[in-house]
Amino acid sequence: MAGGVGSRFWPASREAKPKQFLDIMGDGRSLLRLTFERFLRVTTADKIFVVTNGRYRAQVLEQLPELDGGQILCEPSRNNTAPCVAYTAFKLHGLDPDANIVIAPSDALILNEGLFADNVNKALDFTAANDALVTLGIAPDRPHTGYGYIQFADALGRDGVYPVRRFAEKPDLVTAQSFLSSGDYLWNAGIFVWRAKTVLSAYERYAPEIYALLSHGLPCYNTPEEQAFIDEFYPQTPSISVDYAIMEHADNIFTIPAQFGWSDLGAWGALYQESPKDGAGNVVAGGPILLEDVHNSYVRGPEGKLLVIGGIDDLMVIDEGDVLVVYPRSREQEIKALRERAEKEF
Ligand code: GDD
Ligand code: MG
């Protein structure tokens, strides 16, 4: 899935080039490219599909030249992940009725890629044999309200696969704190494994509107009519995430607690946490930057411009194109709203 806007990474992430297409980590590869290469440990390039907004098709092909145009599923509108997952399932079910699928975001950082591949393979073995919706779980270390929480039945697990009692998407802080202290909750990594037919049954039951709209296309998937069908009907699907539409309701969810070192690169703070710091706790990225008496800050500047910054603590300074943002690091979540305000007012 590479169709989000990444608005909390503004001003680096823009409508025309959202964060999944950016070299956020600074190693020359975009988040999409990193995700693609990670999956080459699990499968071959011909079995990797990218589902994104149609306007990003050329960028995907440029960053993943191994792909054939037919491996890019183009959405005409942004309707969040539930319609995106359903479209993918219908299409892949048409290619192979037993298709066993991994759905993954393109914006996560995963440190131990070998362990990641082991966990994904274990999930694929499980879903090949069971009508199960599997999600990889991460041990939580704080009451983050931007994630899904998975309550798993520890005593019932076999071979590292545990039945899920409850899935709660983006709880409020008090609820998140109670989940954390109860000790039997994991974060949802947003990496799902299931057979196409299993997830389509879940849509039929829990998201009948999406199922009805997209099942009309059955004669069109994988034919020259597919795009015309999607262009006409996809925009009519309700805009909702797969977490709310399916995962909060289904009763055949399982989780594999994963230990591969995961971070959702959701906002600037996550990037600061994951990056190497200088002696004063600063992360410096991009072009020439001179710091004097600066501590615990994230500073990112363009190649051809010298930034000289002094006497600040705990800020993020992001100079990108026609926008400069100087903001407290602890208030990173406000960036999304600020971007909207900036767009309206200027
Ligand atoms: N193709 C497509 N179309 N992709 C989309 C769309 C869309 O309309 N909307 C979002 N995506 C992509 C994003 O680019 C990202 O890679 C992924 O789907 C997940 O979307 P986010 O918007 O980043 O979701 P989230 O972070 O709020 O929540 C999800 O991820 C968390 C972990 O990072 C949920 O699954 C949570 O439960 C989970 O904890
Ligand atoms: Mg996310």
Q: Would you call 164 helix, strand, or coil by DSSP?
A: strand
Asked if residues 50 and 71 have their Cβ atoms less than 8 Å apart, the reply is: yes
Closest-CA residue, ligand 1 atom 34, reads: 190
Closest-CA residue, ligand 1 atom 29, reads: 190
What are 327's two structure tokens? 């903001």
Confidence at residue 231, expressed as pLDDT on a 0 to 100 scale: 98
Instruction: For residue 4, give the ligand 1 atom closest to its CA.
Output: 14
Nearest bound ligand to CA 18? 1
pTM as predicted:
0.93
Strands 185-195 and 262-264 come out as: unpaired
Confidence at residue 154, expressed as pLDDT on a 0 to 100 scale: 84
Pocket of ligand 1 (CB under 6 A): 1-4, 20, 51-52, 75, 78-81, 84, 105-107, 146-148, 169, 187-190, 243, 264, 266
Instruction: For residue 169, give the ligand 1 atom closest to its CA.
Output: 37
Confidence at residue 155, expressed as pLDDT on a 0 to 100 scale: 80
Closest-CA residue, ligand 1 atom 3, reads: 3
Closest-CA residue, ligand 1 atom 14, reads: 4
Whole-number Å distance between alpha carbons of 244 and 249? 8
Confidence at residue 26, expressed as pLDDT on a 0 to 100 scale: 85
Ligand 1 center–CA 105 separation, angstroms: 6
Q: Per-residue DSSP letters for 31-82? A: HHHHHHHHHTTTS-GGG--EEEEGGGHHHHHHH-TTS-GGGEEEESS---HH
For a mutational test of ligand 1's pocket, the pick from 81, 149, 166, i.e. the residue with the most ligand atoms closer than 8 A to its C-beta, is 81
Instruction: For residue 264, give the ligand 1 atom closest to its CA.
Output: 33
Residues whose beta carbons lie less than 5 angstroms from ion ligand 2: 266
Ligand 1 center–CA 2 separation, angstroms: 8
Confidence at residue 157, expressed as pLDDT on a 0 to 100 scale: 77
Neighbours of 31 (CB within 10 A): 25
**10 secondary structure, DSSP code:** T
Confidence at residue 266, expressed as pLDDT on a 0 to 100 scale: 87
Could you tell me if the ipTM is greater than 0.85? yes
Ligand 1 center–CA 80 separation, angstroms: 7
Residue among 197, 140, 130 nearest 162 (CA): 130
Closest-CA residue, ligand 1 atom 10, reads: 4
Tell the residue number behind the tokens 């990108």, with chain if given.
320
Which residues does the chain have with pLDDT short of 50? none
Whole-number Å distance between alpha carbons of 144 and 129? 34
Nearest bound ligand to CA 80? 1
Side chain identity at 91, as an amino acid letter?
Answer: K
Confidence at residue 152, expressed as pLDDT on a 0 to 100 scale: 96
Ligand 1 center–CA 146 separation, angstroms: 11
Strands 72-75 and 185-195 come out as: unpaired
- Residue 24 phi, psi (nearest 5): -65, -40
Confidence at residue 27, expressed as pLDDT on a 0 to 100 scale: 87
Task: Pick left, alpha or beta for residue 29 (phi over 0 → left; psi -120 to 50 → alpha; otherwise beta).
Answer: beta
Closest-CA residue, ligand 1 atom 11, reads: 4
Q: Would you give the distance in Å from CA 112 to the centre of its chain?
A: 17
Ligand 1 center–CA 6 separation, angstroms: 9
Strands 262-264 and 108-110 come out as: antiparallel
Whole-number Å distance between alpha carbons of 39 and 52? 17
Asked if residues 253 and 247 have their Cβ atoms less than 8 Å apart, the reply is: yes
Task: Pick left, alpha or beta for residue 193 (phi over 0 → left; psi -120 to 50 → alpha; otherwise beta).
Answer: beta
Confidence at residue 290, expressed as pLDDT on a 0 to 100 scale: 98
